[in-house]
Structure 1
């Protein structure tokens, strides 16, 4: 007998697994990581104005704004409902990598040193925090 997908939401194994994910995500390390990831996303959002990107880097400014908002929302989701959002932690790694290479790809080499340095540092921070954010999911699976 095949169960409809809606029945799986109430399946004891799924409920138990989500409870385990949420329990592991309540650790101080996970909370600090999620908070730092929200802050990194918010900084990436405003970084073009903090660093002072020139007008010819408008496309990079829009890119940083969109990527920053995405990281902040993902991290907020991890903090609030890790049991339902843990499968998206890899997206922060992709956004972090994109943030590092975006100045060279979007601006095609016509980019200021400040923009490159800003994106490399913020991208590396997002990648590091994204890897740490994956840890609760891996710990919950091992139990």
Structure 2
């Protein structure tokens, strides 16, 4: 017998899983990770003006602004409702990889050293924090 999709939301396993993820999101490590990820995203968003990107790097500046805001919003979602957002915890890792390679893709080899260093450092930080945001689900064992 096929049940409607709406019936699955009340399934006891789903409720238990969400409660587990909410418990995990309250750990100090998860809070630090989420806070640092928000800061990394906000820094990436303002980095073109902090570093002083040249005028010919406008496309990269817009890219950093959009990616930075997206990462900050994702991290806020992880901090406030990890039970509902844990399925997209891999996105900061992908966005971090894109941040690392974006100066080479968008500027096609004409990016300045400061721009490249900025994006590589922030991208690696985002990758590490993103991996850490994915990891807490295994830190707290389920009680059966």
Question: TM-score, normalising length from structure 2?
Answer: 0.95
Alignment of 1:44-123 (within 5 A): 44-123=44-123
Secondary structure at the aligned position of 1:66 is classed as helix
Matched, 1:127 2:124: no
Superposed CA deviations along residues 17-45 of structure 1, whole A, max 9, x for unmatched, are: 10001101110000010000000000000
Question: TM-score, normalising length from structure 1?
Answer: 0.96
Secondary structure at the aligned position of 1:9 is classed as helix
Secondary structure at the aligned position of 2:2 is classed as coil
> Gaps spanning 5+ residues in structure 1: where?
none
Counterpart of 1:16? 16
Counterpart of 2:3? 3
> What is the Cα-based RMSD across aligned positions, in Å?
1.0
**Aligned residues between the structures:** 142
